[in-house]
Amino acid sequence: MRMPDPPSPAPRITDSANGVTFSVHVQPRASRNEICGVQGEAIKLRLTSPPVEGEANRLCVEFLAKRLGVPKSCVAIIAGEKSRHKTIRVSGSDAAAVLALLENSRR
């Protein structure tokens, strides 16, 4: 008898009046910019820039803004600027958009 597949991990995403908040785990110096799934309760991002002088943070904001279809000014790192684990707030978006982004990356 075949065992059922374990449930896929789900990131923690919170909707609020200020927008949507979620966690990301950033892997800098990757070969390309991509969303590569979920690690724990965070969305895992691979980014090409090195973690030097805020370059990876800038690319993280630009990449997420482009993928979510919002201006860069709507994406903010609210915690973890000097860490691979970051908390992101996106104004003008919602949890459904973030989940759709994650689903599209799995294809």
Q: Where are the beta strands (DSSP E) in 1-107?
A: 13-16, 19-27, 34-39, 42-46, 75-79, 85-90
**Residue 97 and residue 1: Cα distance in Å, rounded?**
37
The whole model's pTM is what? 0.86
**Residue 72 and residue 85: Cα distance in Å, rounded?**
20
pLDDT tens, residue by residue, 79-99? 999 999 999 999 988 999 998
Q: What is the CATH number of domain 23-105?
A: 3.30.1200.10
Backbone angles phi, psi at 58, to 5 degrees: -60, -45
**Residue 78 and residue 74: Cα distance in Å, rounded?**
12
pLDDT tens, residue by residue, 19-75? 999 999 999 999 999 999 999 999 999 999 999 999 999 999 999 999 999 999 999
Place of tokens 């997420």: 64
Q: Which residues, in sequence order, are bridge partners of residue 35?
A: 45
